[in-house]
Amino acid sequence: MPEGDRNVATRPSCHLRPRGRPSLDAILQRVRRLLLVALVGMTVTSVRADAIVQVRAMTASTIAEYFVDEPGVRVELEVGLSDLPAFRNLLPDGLYAKLGYEPRPLEQRLLEFFARDLPVSPMAGVPIRGRVSRIELRDRVRRDEITGEALPAEDDPEKTVFAELFYPFETRPEGLILSGPSGPTAASIGFVVYHRGLPVNDFRYLALDYQLDLDWRDPWYSRFRNRNLRRAYDAPMSGFIYVEPYEVRKEIIARPKDLQEWIDLGLEGASIIPAEVQPELMRRVADFLRRRHRVVIDGREIEPELARINFLRRTLRNSTVVDSPEDLDTISATLGVIFVYPTDGLPERVTMEWDLFHERIERVPVAAVDQAGPLPSVLTPDDPLLVWDNFLTNPVLPTLVATEAPPGTVARTAIWLRWLLGTGLLATLVTAVAQRRRQGNFARSVGVAAVVLLLLTASAFWLGRDARLSEAHQRQIVSALLHNVYRAFDFRDEERIYDVLERSVTGDLLTRIYLDTRRGLEIRNQGGARAKVKDLKLVELETGSGVNGGFVARVVWDVSGSVGHWGHVHRRTNRYHADLGIEPVGRVWKLTSLQMLEEERLPTIGRSAEVGLDRLGVRPSRWSRRDLWTPASSVPDLVTIFSVTPAW
């Protein structure tokens, strides 16, 4: 059972049913029949999405999203058809009766719904009397396992009942108590709460009496008392050390509102950070953080280089860079700052000393990340030092793959000379045989010539034995050249990258490959973060004769890479189709031409944080009398039913 799910009310396998109330199976059969007409003829958007691992609460039969603000609580409720019995008091009179329940006034059922079925109560208070703003039939919204955001619809999506509810505040409460339906018809509800636009929790299952403390001064600190209901990005500040060959990265994530405690950023009393002031704000924050959180590498304090600083857009479980300037809410605005410390190789020990604490920031989550993965910990004023020691038993260092030297001029000449000599030898032997038949013997000079030609032909075959490349040899050359091109980008310095690339690429192709490869390794929406290639695999290879002793190759290869960034890992796998020209240049094999034919992104299975998918919205279909009930005149219009606020 997932965290936070232990108190979830479950539907019993059997229970006593009050007289006159239909069974659950009978209700579901009626629901399916009643909605059959609505399901026919509705247009559905179909999109193929990348494979993801789903979180159960995000795929619950019913989804409830609570939005807490000054006027009250707005709830967007997506009810699965199997959960309609638990939410029957919300349904119009006509559908309520057709489900087999004894008729009851809608106003009375709504009072019961807001008091018992989905209550929202102030601490130590009675449930708030809510109202229904609208209700309609919608396609089921699929949700991204990483972000909780809507994904494109599948073919023939499930239909759900969507309702928007509102619970008005009489006075601003210090906390709320949330509960879901209970009893024999309890529902499976995945829920999330937002306070003034900030998520308070990750998707979890809604049970009974979840207590939420509201911080109206700074909603970042609004919390459920149940620790299992905390969101993933709960800390206002966090830090990460990434240790890689040739560089150490320090990444700091912090809210400008919290940094205001140490440096005046002009945010006192401000609710918005205007786009026009953000560049100067980022410059001041970068200068401030450059001098904080001292990093020592193998006993030496190295001057850091600012790699980048960006405002981040943080969803439930993912961070992306705010690319285009826009006004940001001061409470939720978050900065990500990355400093780089160049090294000669893989260090033995790295430490970072955290020096920003105050009364609301007494525990800072941090992690040291290397090739073996992250090592998370928490820093406090009494224990402010993050330490990484090199315990890697077999660290992987970027290395270039050597290829055999191309055949030299003598070997290439011998390729053609051996056939010429062989032809001469054959002609000499034919002449000798003809002389012997006519004269009974052959001239001594013919014999000497035959022996000399035989020795020269054998020598030519021996010298040219390596001049003609086998398919296996060609595959090894192509694989090595591609490997070395990608390995060049393990280095940080641009001049060093060019130097390494020049070992495998020649001519005008050098600059183009540099720019294209760098672009291909950048992670979308992550401020220029560049993936490090972890694996390269040749999928297909067809070769043919080339020029200047080289060959051409039509190649299909897969490249898998990852980058640690903002506290998690982005992964991607790309497939490339290209025609390559390869020639010997200065006693080494080099790429001399490249024509890209096709590039495609392969789905990455797992908890990848790369969220560069294009999102498509789904237009909901109205739940109308014509679609749902016959005859139409027997059931009142839903809009009419809920346009009048029930009399309390």
- Sorted by sequence, the CB contacts under 8 Å of residue 574 that are 6+ apart come out as 520, 558, 559, 599, 600, 601, 602
Average pLDDT taken over every residue of the chain: 75
| Residue 508 in tokens | 């005008």
Domain ranges of the chain: 24-231+622-642, 237-389, 409-463, 471-602
Contact (Cβ atoms closer than 8 angstroms) between residue 541 and residue 510: no
Which of the two residues, 99 and 633, has the higher pLDDT score? Answer: 99
- Chain centroid to Cα 223, Å, comes to 27
State both tokens at 210. 């979840």
Confidence of residue 596 (pLDDT cuts 50, 70, 90): confident
**67: left (phi > 0), else alpha (psi -120 to 50), else beta?**
beta
Structure tokens of 212? 């939420």
Residues 6+ apart with CB under 8 A from 53: 145, 605, 606, 607
Report d(CA 478, CA 303) in Å as an integer. 40
pLDDT the model gives residue 477? 87
Nearest CA-CA partner of 234 in 261, 199, 191, 285:
199
Statement: residue 39 has pLDDT above 60: no
pLDDT single digits (tens) 294-322: 999 999 998 899 988 988 876 655 567 77
Q: Which of 76, 211, 194 is nearest to 141 (CA)?
A: 76
643, exposed or middle or buried, with CB in 10 Å at 0-12, 13-18, 19+?
Answer: exposed
Percent of the chain residues topping a pLDDT of 90 = 28
Mean pLDDT of the 546-570 span? 77
* Contact partners, residue 617, CB within 8 Å, separation at least 6: 150
Between 83 and 452, residue with greater pLDDT: 83
Q: Is the per-residue pLDDT at 602 higher than 70? A: yes
Average pLDDT over residues 584-592: 84
Predicted TM-score (pTM) above 0.85: no
pLDDT band at 43 (very low <50, low <70, confident <90, very high): very low
Q: Residue 256 pLDDT > 60, yes or no?
A: yes
pLDDT at 443 over 80: no
Write b or e for each residue in 124-149: b if 16 or more Cβ atoms lie within 10 A of its Cβ, otherwise e. Answer: eeebbbbbbeebbbbbbbbbbbbbbe
- What is the rounded CA–CA span in Å between residue 588 and residue 504? 8
Instruction: Give CA–CA dist 560/562, Å, rounded.
Output: 7
Q: How far apart are CA 24 and CA 35, in angstroms?
A: 16
pLDDT at 568: 61
Confidence of residue 429 (pLDDT cuts 50, 70, 90): low
- The dihedral built from the CA positions of residue 138, 142, 144 and 148, taken in this order, carries a sign that is positive
Confidence bin at 437 (pLDDT 50/70/90) = low
Per-residue pLDDT reduced to its tens digit, 121-167: 999 889 999 999 999 888 888 776 655 666 776 677 788 889 999 99
> Where is pLDDT greater, at 356 or 519?
356
Q: Where does the pLDDT of residue 556 fall: very low under 50, low under 70, confident under 90, or very high at 90 and above?
A: very high
Distance spanning both ends of the chain, measured CA to CA: 40
| CATH number 3.10.450 is the correct assignment for the domain at 471-602 | yes
Q: Which of 570, 480, 568, 475 is nearest to 530 (CA)?
A: 570
